[in-house]
Amino acid sequence: MEPIFPKWTNRIPLFLGVGIPVLLVSIIVGIWYYFSPKFLAVGYEPEQPIAFSHQLHAGQMGIDCRYCHSGVEKTSFAPLPPTETCMGCHNKVKKDSPRLKVLHESYKNKTPIPWVHVYSLPRYSHFDHSAHLTAGVGCVTCHSRVDKMEVISLASPLSMGWCLECHRNPVPNIRPQNQLTNMLYDPHAFNYLPSNDPDYKDKLIQPPQACGACHY
């Protein structure tokens, strides 16, 4: 009597036994890698109410980050510039430009400019700007070269793994206190070592890695 099924069908259980686990692992790895913030969040570039160019202001004009984000070295968050800060220049500079209509309306009506946050952490995470600046972490480390950005965009994934990479090896990201906002500073050009810097000689450069440091 001839068999009902051809011989090759005997291999189906083997193919299924090997193929299904390989397929599942591939799906898991693909989701873990490609669905990470590195691919889904980095590059986020929302439209702002005013076409503010960091390339012009921070780059060509060389305005220090702390002029607009004042108090960032003393507070846990980086404050967005109030209307009065912008008007400090624009009550004279390009004051009749139609691109600044929202700014002038904000100033006249005493209402805040509805800036759209680009860097936002979930509520269960905590990040202290003042602590990182005090430790010598410059703006470039997280925000990249904003002086080259016409439109500000998310440059870092802000994932737990990304933060831990720096906490495990912070030295490459530490710079002198007077270079925190300098976009052009290169620690390798000066053979800079935080351990030789008087600003850090009494500090233990060992960021916390425990859960409670960022989640509490």
pLDDT at 3: 66
Nearest to 50 by CA among 14, 104, 13, 8: 104
CA distance 122 to 41: 13
Using only C-alpha atoms, what is the Rg of the chain? 25
> 151 near 55, Cβ under 8 Å?
no
Please give the pLDDT value at position 35. 59
Q: Where are the alpha helices (DSSP H) in the chain?
A: 12-34, 37-40, 54, 65-68, 83-90, 101-109, 129-134, 139-143, 160-168
Contact assessment for residue 130 and residue 169, using Cβ atoms and an 8 Å cutoff: no
At 171, list the tokens.
Answer: 């030295």
What string of pLDDT tens digits covers the 216 residues of the chain?
Answer: 566 767 777 777 777 777 788 878 877 776 666 555 555 688 899 999 999 999 999 999 999 999 999 999 999 988 899 999 999 999 999 999 999 999 999 999 999 999 999 998 888 899 999 999 999 999 999 999 999 999 999 999 998 999 999 999 999 999 999 999 999 998 888 889 898 898 887 776 789 999 999 998
Return the pLDDT at 92.
93
Q: Domain residue spans in the chain?
A: 7-35, 71-79+119-213
Give the model's pLDDT for residue 33: 60
CB 8 within 8 A of CB 121: no
User: Rounded to an integer, what distance in angstroms lies between the CA atom of residue 131 and that of residue 74?
Assistant: 8
Give the C-alpha separation, 141 to 71, whole Å.
Answer: 19
